Amino acid sequence: MNIICAYPINLDAIYDIDSEELPGSNGDAEPKAVTKINNLSDLFSALLYCMQTGSGAEILIEQEALKERIKSLFSWHYRLGGNAGIMANVLAALGAQPILNAPALSRRMAKMLDSRVGIPSGVSLKPPGEAAGMDEMMHFVFQFKEGDRLSSRRGETVAKRDNRLIASYDPLNSRLYSNQDFDNYCLENISRIDGALVSGFHLAPLAEYNEIFDKKIEDIKSWKQKNPAIFIHAEMGSFQDPEIMKYLMPRLPVDSIGMNEDELAMSGDLEPGWRAASRAAMLLKENLAVSRIGIHTHDYILSIISKPLNPEIEIAALMKGIHAASSMAATGSIAGQPPSEINAAGLAAMNEFCNDGAILCKSGAFMHSGDSSICLVPSLVARNPKFTVGLGDTATACIFYEEIMAIKRSMNSPVHQIR
């Protein structure tokens, strides 16, 4: 199975919030949502806001000098980052052949990639170690757990739930840059490629997103034109402005779109609760005319699907994704033992869903609605998680792998061939 993974890959510099005071903080920051980071006060305000609300965010750093200042202030530990890089690693571990866009791949990052990940070079794929150079893009990840505390002269902020703030100075990935070898390889081999995972659109700066998106949309269209059977999933992210996402989604020539509940709220007014999320996701699916809308939340994963997917297979795929992400959170590896505790709020949502007429299926439930099916599976709880970064990407890659496997089985079945 060959799967394109584009666009961002970077090095994550991770800092765990384990004290009540941050280095370099002047104590004057207050919890506040910000759209860009111009100084340390913006950084601390955004972090306090994320902790207070339990939300995650990814915000661009404006100046290189500020990036260097942040880099010098904290004691970091490093992991592979970027949606495409994380998903490529998961897919390789599952047995697929990922084709990864990696225009800035340092030797340090190459060692963090699975050796089975393929990097286009000329007319062939090279393993990461052979494709590595010197360049790397670094994102700063401030990771916090439920109950972590930060103090300032304005009071104490307690983290509502596990999450993270990502602060990025990344002129390469923010333009969704892909080198010529990657573009040429994908186009020349597109008939042999089964699927594509595209992401990183949220990194595009407000002043240039139209130009950046239009080029990438043309690339994705060319894949679809040459191989109409390719199944393409686009993962959203924490956009600077809701208008950016609203511009992007109707123009993307994809089959599936994924996001979290904060990103779903960007598409319109969203009331709390799974019912409101389900209605909003269904409306979005209808308006965009895609095969799938996936919403991953802290408590559950909700998926609205239609052909070529079916609910029984989708429930199984969601379970695999949840197990992989919770294993990663608990142990640091998707191959680790997943926790057994079911998220109480997710379980309550599923029970309410069943009371509304949904059908139990394995660890989840589904309900038909017109030509679509609504699928819901509760999350698992990883107490004292080792990681909160990349869990959504881990689940997404695993779910996508299972969906592609099911589509391929359906395409090769005698019934499908007779029709």
Express each pLDDT in 95-130 by its tens digit. Answer: 999 999 999 999 999 999 999 999 999 899 999 999
Q: What is the DSSP letter of 380?
A: B
C-beta separation of 242 from 254 below 8 A: no
- 324 band by pLDDT with thresholds 50, 70 and 90: very high
Q: What percent of the chain has pLDDT over 70?
A: 97
Q: What's the pTM?
A: 0.91
Tens digit of each residue's pLDDT (9 = 90 or more) over 355-408: 999 999 999 999 999 999 999 999 999 988 887 788 999 999 999 999 999 998
- Angle subtended at Cα 380 by Cα 376 and Cα 384, rounded to the nearest 5 degrees: 150
Distance (Å) of CA 408 to CA 255, 303, 405: 15, 20, 5
Is the Cβ–Cβ distance between 89 and 64 less than 8 Å?
A: no
pLDDT (mean) for 21-35: 78
Q: Write out pLDDT tens, residues 42-101.
A: 999 999 999 999 988 999 998 999 999 999 999 999 999 999 999 999 999 999 999 999
pLDDT at 25 over 80: no
What are the start-end ranges of the H helices in 173-273?
Answer: 180-188, 209-226, 242-248, 261-266
Distance CA 197, CA 94 (A): 15
Q: Which of 144, 141, 150, 146 is nearest to 161 (CA)?
A: 146
Burial of 183 (0-12, 13-18, 19+ CB in 10 A): middle
Residue of 333, 342, 335, 334 lying closest to 382 (CA atoms): 342
Computed over every residue of the chain, the mean pLDDT equals: 92
- Report d(CA 287, CA 268) in Å as an integer: 13
pLDDT at 388: 77
Note the pLDDT of residue 386: 82
pLDDT for res 30? 86
Q: What is the pLDDT of residues 239-255, one digit of tens each?
A: 989 999 999 999 999 99
Residues 302, 260: contact at Cβ < 8 Å? Answer: no
Q: Which are the contacts of 225, defined by CB distance < 8 A and separation ≥ 6?
A: none
Q: What is the pLDDT of residue 154?
A: 75
What's the half-sphere exposure (Cβ side, CA atoms, 13 Å) at 190?
A: 21
10 vs 86: CA distance, rounded Å:
9
Whole-number pLDDT of residue 209: 96
Grouping H, G, I as helix, E, B as strand and the rest as coil, residue 330 is helix
Structural domains in the chain, sorted by start? 10-80+135-168 (3.30.1110.20), 292-419 (3.40.1190.20)
Indicate the helix (H) or strand (E) that contains 4: strand 2-6
Q: Which residues of 74-84 are buried (b: 16+ CB within 10 A; e: fewer)?
A: eebeebbbbbb
